[in-house]
Amino acid sequence: MRHGTEFLLGINLLLCALFFGGCQTVPQGIQQARIEMAQHIAAEQPGDYYIGRRYYKPDFKFWGYVRRPGQPWSTAELVMLNEKEKLAPDRERLEFGSDNNYEYKLYGYFSGEKVYEPASNSVYPEFVLKGYELVSTNPPPIFRSQIRGKPSPTELRYTVEKPE
Range of the domain at 99: 44-157
Task: Please give the C-alpha separations between residue 41 and each of 6, 46, 92, 114, 162, in angstroms, as whole numbers.
Answer: 52, 11, 27, 27, 17
Q: Per-residue pLDDT tens, the chain, 164 aa: give them.
A: 445 444 333 334 333 333 344 444 445 666 666 777 777 777 778 889 999 999 999 999 999 999 999 999 999 999 999 999 999 999 999 999 999 999 999 999 999 999 999 999 999 999 999 999 999 999 988 887 776 666 666 667 777 888 88
Residue 145: what are its φ and ψ, rounded to 5°? -65, -25
Please indicate, yes or no, if residue 35 is contained in any of the structural domains.
Answer: no
Please indicate, yes or no, if residue 78 is contained in any of the structural domains.
Answer: yes
Please indicate, yes or no, if residue 112 is contained in any of the structural domains.
Answer: yes
Give the total number of structural domains in the chain. Answer: 1
Please indicate, yes or no, if residue 164 is contained in any of the structural domains.
Answer: no
Please indicate, yes or no, if residue 32 is contained in any of the structural domains.
Answer: no
